[in-house]
A and B are shown apart, each in its own frame.
Chain A
């Protein structure tokens, strides 16, 4: 044995326990073993420069994670045994869970698949191992979310077929296309999209609204999941930052590619989070903070500091961040008024905010709420009171890229609809914004493939020509249970009976 007396430090020891198990192949060509590493144009000159974002050997991983799981499942069991769903702030809160289980949980599973894939694609073993750990973590989140919501599903509607709905329901093509976009990209773009742009830059805007929302609304199961997942998320965030720094430090030619990806994925993430904005401001009976406040703290301040830090690599803030910053005053209101009209085709309920809630919004959105949005709710409330609860019976125009209905307004012109269109190879495509249109122009061959739910209905690919058939048969939304207005819904009646506000048959849990 060669003489070597110095004991390894922790960093070197971890490298011996991970990347040193790899070797330079000589029987097969490296590019055949790692065929997907080149085509995006990212240049990696030296994988040994990769800094492990965390040092966790498998024995420690099993031990810590098992301890976390034990505690988590003890709470789930206690929650179910004591019918914890009866202790939430209000049944309207459960609609946030419906959005989460159908919109977010399937993404956790897609993340598991995506990270397992990149956990094989990179020739750098350090990066592979970090990605694999995230893969199994994401599987954990996908599964523990099923278990956390399982009890709610037994007592409320709209949670009963999440993955099935995720593949089909119109607004769920927003999160689905987001993740399909990342997974169908190369490994470096996938990590820039998910690890950096989403996990590092925007994750607090997903995590805080849902998990703090759970805490504020007495949802012990979900908030316990949130706490339990926190240390996983911390690891995922450090991976996100390491990835971006590593790619940028490897070669200057990588900078413009990464900048384009940051521009794209910031915007796609922002559009995806518009669903969260309405959940945060409208679906939480006990509010945590407003979307505008969350955006200021988690994007404008934290993101601002981050992009200042990345300046030295030649990276500037995302191209359309000004539009996103301006939109914080409008986003949640525009989304909720849209979903209010389309409740017949969603697995969750909508409602007119109560008076105190509207006052809260006036306070949180002093420039915009009273001026633009309160009058709409007052009008809609009047219509509903007169027995004309408004549902929009036409199908919306969806954006070809983000797949949100083209409902947004122009920056600085809150009554002017934002809409772009262009003709590509003889076909006309529609967009919600300049940013989405830009994304299309960069990769038209990708975005022409988009599975747009409204187009698909009109083309007869969704088991029916009318909304009712599509909703019932194709979406598996139970009409009269999962959808429509909250007031008077089975969930609402059920909640009143739990709270003893209306005499009801004690032995039956639902209407």
Chain B
């Protein structure tokens, strides 16, 4: 039996905003729809940007990719700001428990010095790469024209800052919050031969102008090789080195990467499927960047899990991209 509360029902004169109704019909809209569609300025811009006078503000020509409607690219997670922070708050709660546990039980400080140094040399320097990813995604968020696209990239930018901060905290746990571990780790990033191809690659991405090229490089190709290598393959390897507790501290990254593939896959699928010209352009970029990323990761793989593991990861990425009509190397592995 249910209790019926009598309410004064009021008929609305319309169900949603006009710009939402034009896309989906005048019916009750989701929070994602009202937060994500047609919010940005599209026309009648007053002044050319002084930093880029060839284009208008919110100019679709800032990328070589052409879309009839950029709002065709949507987020399968349906993240608007509230949904996004709600999801990440849950993830950080789990991470906080792990970090707290590790810290309380001294799980890192009791590792042999040699293993601690390996963590500072092979894992923590990735915080710098995360900052590069943060910068690239912030640029994309500032230049992408549809809110469905730009918002995914600002979430991505902040996520990368967060991941960089988690990696930094691993070093702070090792060094007893003195910063010495972070200094040491940064030294590897700057000077260790192992990191130089990767640092060069990251710096090279920072001068890429085309924002869609950049999201392909950063969020699809680079992450597509790096996250499975570092947070899956190397995760098992750390265990073999007696540092299985590190796994607790990188759980966030694994969950995060799984989550991020949902939207990057959706994005590439829609953009590649839009036209032959788009597909060709993506292929050209993939041809140019994927081998460079592979080569930049090679020294890290050699120093840890071995190149075969990297080749496996490469094959996985090739299979994933194949679904969108893109061919990258590594299918033979």
* A interface residues (Cβ-Cβ under 8 A, vs B): 1-8, 12-13, 16-18, 20-28, 32-33, 35-36, 39, 57-59, 61-63, 65-67, 69-70, 72-73, 82-83, 86, 106, 109-110, 112-121, 125, 128-129, 132-133, 135-136, 139-140, 142-144, 146-147, 150, 153-157, 159-164, 166-168, 173, 176-177, 180-181, 183-187, 446-447, 449-451, 456, 476, 507-510
A183 proximity list for chain B (CB < 8 A): 49, 57
Say yes or no: A153 contacts B14, CB within 8 Å: yes
| Secondary structure dominating the interface of A | helix
Say yes or no: B180 contacts A2, CB within 8 Å: yes
Complex CA distance for A3 and B176, rounded to whole angstroms: 11
Q: Which of B143-151, B238-246, B269-277 contacts A (4 or more CB under 8 A)?
A: B143-151
Say yes or no: B92 contacts A63, CB within 8 Å: yes
Say yes or no: A160 contacts B14, CB within 8 Å: yes
Say yes or no: B179 contacts A16, CB within 8 Å: yes
Given known A58-B158, A116-B138, A142-B39, contact A21–B168 (CB-CB < 8 A): yes
**B19 proximal to A (CB < 8 A):** yes
**CB<8 Å pairs between A and B, sample of 20:** A1-B174, A6-B178, A18-B161, A21-B127, A22-B128, A25-B203, A58-B159, A61-B158, A65-B89, A67-B89, A69-B86, A143-B82, A144-B81, A154-B14, A160-B18, A163-B42, A166-B41, A181-B46, A450-B46, A510-B13
Complex CA distance for A65 and B7, rounded to whole angstroms: 33
Complex CA distance for A23 and B81, rounded to whole angstroms: 30
Say yes or no: B180 contacts A66, CB within 8 Å: no
Complex CA distance for A119 and B19, rounded to whole angstroms: 29
B151 proximity list for chain A (CB < 8 A): 139
- Taking a contact as CB atoms closer than 8 A, the residue among B45, B164, B203 that contacts A451 in the complex is B45
Given known A120-B135, A164-B38, A451-B44, contact A21–B13 (CB-CB < 8 A): no
- Taking a contact as CB atoms closer than 8 A, the residue among B40, B91, B139, B166 that contacts A163 in the complex is B40
Given known A153-B16, A154-B13, A167-B43, contact A143–B175 (CB-CB < 8 A): no
Say yes or no: B186 contacts A147, CB within 8 Å: no
- Taking a contact as CB atoms closer than 8 A, the residue among A17, A20, A32, A132 that contacts B154 in the complex is A132
Shortest 7 CB-CB contacts between residues of A and residues of B: A58-B162, A117-B142, A66-B89, A154-B12, A116-B142, A4-B180, A143-B35
Say yes or no: B168 contacts A17, CB within 8 Å: yes
Nearest A-chain residue to B162, judged by Cβ: A58
**B193 proximal to A (CB < 8 A):** no
* B interface residues (Cβ-Cβ under 8 A, vs A): 7-8, 10-19, 29, 31, 34-36, 38-51, 57-58, 80-82, 85-86, 88-89, 91-93, 95-96, 113, 116-117, 120, 127-128, 130-131, 134-136, 138-139, 141-143, 147, 150-151, 153-155, 157-159, 161-162, 164-166, 168-169, 172, 174-184, 186, 189-190, 199-200, 203-204, 206-207
Say yes or no: A135 contacts B18, CB within 8 Å: no
A112 proximity list for chain B (CB < 8 A): 141, 150, 154
**Apart from A62-B92, A166-B41, what 20 extra A-B contacts exist at CB < 8 Å?**
A1-B116, A13-B179, A25-B203, A32-B207, A59-B162, A65-B85, A66-B88, A69-B82, A83-B10, A112-B141, A117-B142, A120-B135, A120-B139, A129-B161, A132-B157, A132-B161, A142-B39, A147-B34, A508-B11, A509-B12
